A = this chain, B = another copy of it.
Amino acid sequence: MIERVRGFRDSYPEDMLPRQKMFDVMRETATQFYFSQIEIPSLEYLDLYRVKSGEELLTQTFSFTDKGGRELTMIPEATPSVVRMLTSRKDLKKPVKWFCLPKLWRYEEPQSGRSREHTQFNADIFGDSSMFADAEIIGLACSTLDKLGLSGKYKVRINDRMLMEKILRDIGISNIARGYSLIDHYRKLSADDFKSQLLELCKESEKADFLLQLLGKEIKLDQLDTKFPEQFKRENEEIVSRLKNTGILVSKLTSAELVYDASVVRGLGYYTGIVFEGFDRAGEFRSIFGGGRYDNLGQLIADTPIEAVGFGMGDAVLELLLKKNNLWNLTTRAGSFAMCTVGNETIITAYELATKLRQLGYAVNVDTSQASLSNQLKKAAANSVNYTIIIGPKEIKDNVLTIRDMNSGTQVTGRMDDLEKLIESVSSKQI
């Protein structure tokens, strides 16, 4: 007996229906925001991630040397591939708005909301350095959640890497990368551990207070000014006001709550501006989506500077959140028929009718089991079909048909050739 590989998942129909609905909403919302779909390869050279993804990610890949001696990896994130695709085309009109729905793989310990394979909704705007692009990216992520029924169930924490760099420098930290890395672990460390590590990094304990005061608080964007010392505020007015204005713009695209949170810096090394994460309000799960501005990655990967902002939204946490909110629903097939057959000879006629119904857009199951009629009808009911049709020798001899509406119980009988009329007639009899 060969098992499923650990950390991987089999999706059966009962999960696949809401799953597909989730992907459809992602695709639909992205299209409404005028993003175009692309598809990226599942394998890339490992070098593509060496540039800027950080050491932690590199150790967590499904990577291998192929038969041609090339060091390849199953893609652990989408952004480097998307940037590679973008920079290898010189004819694209900016701004470029792309989304994709790739599978991603990470070799890490499987846990709630994190498996070794997941599908990610990924969207980016290239060639636009404005706050409008930042706002649209956050707006798209939030509108997708809104469309899935999650309005009011989540909030977005934002920060800005440039602002953080100023703060870190202001409190005397020169190793900025180390600073980000420490802040990224803020929620995983105890308050004391964090403080002692921060003091070690910035040397001057009285200055560190500014950052310690900011961290772990959710600050309304319109009150952001009040949290900074006067001089700092004056020197960084532009960054702070862009962040505030971005918040205003986002509020026109979604009703989601946006707050400033200094502890949000994102793990990946390549962010250069705004960074953000979506969280469930109850604080039960990992982040629902995350992203930011990364204006240097094109330069690093392909020696081609390109402004970029984007997000990734994994399917795993989203599924947990939808389930918790009773939104992981089976969607009933609209307009489905079960055809019961009596005797093998009736199946040819049943197939002919099924083909007509399918051409009209209906979903049709022809039961060819030759089980008893009552068993066939039971199965049809269990499948929650909308209509049943019984095809027996008598029906064929008389060229008649009975369609039964399984919800209302009404039924109509008429000539087989009048199939369309019969369907209309039984539909109109619904209460």
- Residues on A lying within 8 angstroms of B by beta carbon are 1-5, 8-13, 16-17, 19-20, 27, 29, 31-34, 36-45, 47-48, 62, 64-67, 70, 72, 74, 84-85, 88-89, 93, 95, 97-98, 103, 105, 107, 116-117, 128, 130, 132-133, 135-136, 139, 143, 248-249, 252-254, 301-303, 333, 336, 347-348, 351-352, 354-355, 358, 361-366, 368-369, 379, 382
Contacts and interface: CB of A to CB of B under 8 A. Distances in A.
Contact of A107 (B31, B67, B143): B67
Contacts of A33: 358, 363-365
B133 A368 contact: yes
Given A43-B8, A43-B62, A67-B107, A135 B72 contact: no
Contacts of A136: 366
Where chain A touches its partner, the secondary structure class is mixed
Contact of A351 (B62, B249, B351): B249
Most chain B beta carbons < 10 A, residue from A74, A302, A379:
A74
B47 A2 contact: yes
Contacts of A128: 368-369
Contact of A364 (B13, B34, B336): B34
B2 A16 contact: no
Contacts of A41: 4-5, 8-10, 117
A48 B354 CA distance: 37
Contacts of A379: 93
Nearest to A15: B39
16 contacts: A8-B42, A10-B41, A11-B38, A17-B36, A17-B37, A19-B39, A33-B365, A34-B363, A42-B103, A64-B65, A74-B74, A103-B103, A130-B368, A132-B347, A133-B368, A253-B354
